[in-house]
Structure 1
Amino acid sequence: MSLESKNRKLTLFALTWPIFIEQFLHMLMGNADTLMLSQYSDNSVAAVGVSNQILFLLIVMFGFIATGTTILITQYLGANNVKDAKAVSTVSISANLIISLILSVAIVIASEDILLLMNLPVELLPEASAYLKIVGGFSFIQALIMTVSAILKSYGYTKDTMFLTIGMNLLNIIGNYVLIFGAFGLPSLGVQGAAISTVISRAIALVIIFYILKKRLYFTINLKDLFKMPVHHLKNLLGIGIPTAGEQLSYNTSQMAITFFITMIGTEALTTRVYTQNLMMFMMLFSIAISQGTQILIGYLIGAKEFDSAYKRAMKSLYYGIAISILMAVLFSIFSETLLGIFTSNERILEVGAVLVLLTIILEPGRSFNMVLIGSLRAAGDIRFPTYVGILAMWGIAVPVAYTLGIHFELGLVGVWLAFIADEWVRGIIMLYRWRSRAWESKRIVQKAVAS
């Protein structure tokens, strides 16, 4: 089958359902740690929750190369430029390997200082630090998995990454059972056991995903290739990645600032947020999958200069995303206490968590606007606009409103959730205006790459 005939068979559904399952399992992997640790200690859950806020920052740094990879490869393939698509793949793996190794070392050295800056309660520091050092120290493995996964998805092989994630999750759950609770006569390691299990499952997945890359694309990398990075490809990757990372970094640092506010409310509030956000991540799954599938399709369409088709594709995806996100939020709200009861029996956490899940009925449609349209704008090459708007909204709306309502007016987590709603809806409406303006039609990146 030729590459052209394969590309024509790509549809939103064919791309999205494996991405949905993959993302579901990624979240399940994080929730497996939380769920199993909740049987061990609520304090352990809070410690890992704060550590994960920092680890999310690392994923953002790795993700900016992965995002650039997807956009460039899909635009090149849409323009039938297979040679440059492969060259971008090699450059992205090399760049993310170097960046991730530096960040992995840095997180090991500075883990305790970072946690203290987040105003972490002293009693949580030992467990949070142990988890952060182990998972963060080997985070370069996750960076490489993300990069190779982005390459495979760009070529339409979303099923392969889905099956890989299934295997990785199974390994992690088994490892958690053995290492957290000390099964089969082994010592009970608690938080450290969860961290070790995460690292081992990722390391095995890394070996397998490189095998898949070689099998599907006849793609191999030697040491010589790792140090050959064509300047124009690297420049385009960074040109997409750095602004994208800027927005994601702004989001995660603003979330860290809000986490700092929540620590002022108390450890119980911190734990409530962790449990509630675990549920919210599952609500977001359809929007995430639709956004990623749409981004791949629009990349192909922009590469082929089919701008009208790209415009219609994004708008259809947006309607799907909004409708499904409302439905999911309503369903989760109806069963919120039962779902939260999976994690805890604390009545106060169940009560406040149920109110927060109810508020997500308003929150999630706004988030869908951002996920689908920001992904579409980036796929079209309109990179900087979402970044500028995102930074202004997060720090101009989310953070100050969260403090004002949550701390000053003592609304607690409800005030924080109202700030999230305001942030998502303001940004979402602005992104809709940008997409309808069609200013992105002049941002096609492949055109610039060919000319350079």
Structure 2
Amino acid sequence: MKSAPKSRVLDKGLWGMSAPMFVDQAVTYTIPLVDMYFLSRVSDSAAAAVGAVTPLVFVANAFLQVSAFAGASIAGQRIGANDYLRGNATIGAYSLFVVVLSLIAILGVNYGGPVVAGAMNLSNAVEGYAVEYLSLIGWMVGFWGFRLIYQTILNIYGAPKWNTFSNIIFFTVNLFGNVIAVYGFHSFPPTGVTGVALASVSAAFCSLLFVASAVHFKLRIHVPIKASFAQFGILIAPVLMIAAPAILEPMSFQGYMMVLNWIAAGVSDLALKVKIYTYNTFLFCLMISIALSMATEAIIAQRVGRKEFDLAHLQLKQSLTMSLIGTTILASLWLLFNQPILKMFTSDPDVIAIGFWVFLLGFLAEPMRTTNIIIGSALRCTGDAAFTSVSSIAVIWLFSVPLAYVLAIPLQLGIFGLLIAAVLDEGVRAIIKYYRWKARKWQKYGVGVKGQAHSS
């Protein structure tokens, strides 16, 4: 009889885990750039419309991603302690949870999204494109949620390369779908924004089929769904302790992005276009910090499960250092080539004219954003999610949003005011997370520590 597969996370280490994740994230964050490029071929208004409502899609995606990764953190801690029985049962429990959330996300984006777009301060042309896109893209979010279940299983077992292959499939299908949507193909006429949305939906479905096949047929990882369902309440409780507060921060941040888009639209169509092009371009810089944060989460979760707290701390320092170096280099290239990059998406001379200063502010935000991502994900995977989430939400809505409005409207700094506020927002939240990790309160939150406390 073939033995059950074992996790290879600690054997592979940071580089073994993160190397395929770099490719994975490079593909992931190229997708918004590809979509933006093809939408800009339809019109600047189409690109601005989809960019303006993209935070709503990110909210739904973050809702699913945080839930899946919270479950993976608990499962990873148990597997790190060599408790594969409860670890796999935990995978089954959070899988059931994420499936339900994915179905809710489909309905929420497809039917609630157009309502949100109608409430934004968009011009008629931009609003029309936004509603057209949102009425379909919820299916992509749902399929992406199902895919996250398999993605986390592959990460827990130290096999992230399959996620990379699935993202390459996503990118390829999405690229060809965009080409057909914008330029047509033989007897198929161009379908514009609707076609771009359907391309993303089709790509998400194809990548989901691939990772499901990898887990079930290649690696033959068995998830005990019946046992997970029978013990669902017990198994999901520690997951919710991480997920409930952790969900609030990315949702709050994407809500903040929508408010910034609303303010930008109120300033002018030019401000909205510049904000969208800059933000989506700098999303590509996230591939390094996201890849390292995913690898770091998997490693730290297992270190905490083994109560190897000093090794967990050293891992965080190594990951943060490497991420800061990588994102700074990449952001520097973006700043250096700001003009050619913007000319890929638009020929509007007003947008191109202010490109350097807008990209400079985007560049200044990157080190703080990287710190937020790396330390924030490390805190979440240890179980210490509540403080950082609450503090981040407080900073965003009590400091950053009012500051953005005051700088952009009363002080008439426009797009520059919005981006200055964004830099300060990332900086304040990064400082809070840094000192929270340094205080080492996260050592008290692991399931192994709590279990030991309850048994004593």
Query: 2 CA distance for matches of 1:165 and 1:15?
Result: 16
The TM-score, its normalising length taken from structure 1, stands at: 0.95
Distance 1:255 1:404, change over 3 A: same
SS at match of 1:369: helix
* Aligned counterpart, 1:96: 98
Over 6 Å off, 4+ runs: 1-5
How many residues get paired? 452
* Aligned counterpart, 2:128: 126
Map 1:75-224; keep pairs closer than 5 Å: 75-219=77-221
Distance 1:226 1:351, change over 3 A: farther
* Aligned counterpart, 2:413: 411
The TM-score, its normalising length taken from structure 2, stands at: 0.94
CA contact (8 A) 2:89 2:225 kept: no
Query: 1 CA distance for matches of 2:134 and 2:413?
Result: 31
CA contact (8 A) 1:72 1:446 kept: no
* Aligned counterpart, 1:265: 267
Q: Do residues 351 (structure 1) and 353 (structure 2) align?
A: yes
Map 1:57-72; keep pairs closer than 5 Å: 57-72=59-74
Distance 1:138 1:285, change over 3 A: closer
Map 1:244-323; keep pairs closer than 5 Å: 244-323=246-325
Query: 1 CA distance for matches of 2:38 and 2:309?
Result: 48
Distance 1:345 1:228, change over 3 A: farther
Unaligned runs of 5+ residues in structure 2 are none
**1:368 partner letter:** T
**2:242 partner letter:** I
**1:291 partner letter:** S
After superposition, the C-alpha distances for 1:75-120 in whole angstroms (9 at most, x for unaligned) are 1121111111211211122111112212312333333221111222
CA contact (8 A) 2:444 2:450 kept: no
Q: Do residues 431 (structure 1) and 436 (structure 2) align?
A: no
**2:427 partner letter:** W
* Aligned counterpart, 1:240: 242
Query: 2 CA distance for matches of 1:26 and 1:195?
Result: 16
Unaligned runs of 5+ residues in structure 1 are none
Query: 2 CA distance for matches of 1:17 and 1:285?
Result: 11
| Cα shift at 1:3 | 6.2
Query: 1 CA distance for matches of 2:73 and 2:238?
Result: 10
CA contact (8 A) 2:89 2:223 kept: no
CA contact (8 A) 2:388 2:432 kept: no
* Aligned counterpart, 1:28: 30
Percent of pairs identical after alignment? 27
| Cα shift at 1:224 | 5.6
Distance 1:384 1:134, change over 3 A: same
| Cα shift at 1:375 | 1.3
Query: 2 CA distance for matches of 1:336 and 1:439?
Result: 42
SS at match of 2:221: coil
After superposition, the C-alpha distances for 1:362-418 in whole angstroms (9 at most, x for unaligned) are 211111211111111112221111101110111122211111111111111111111
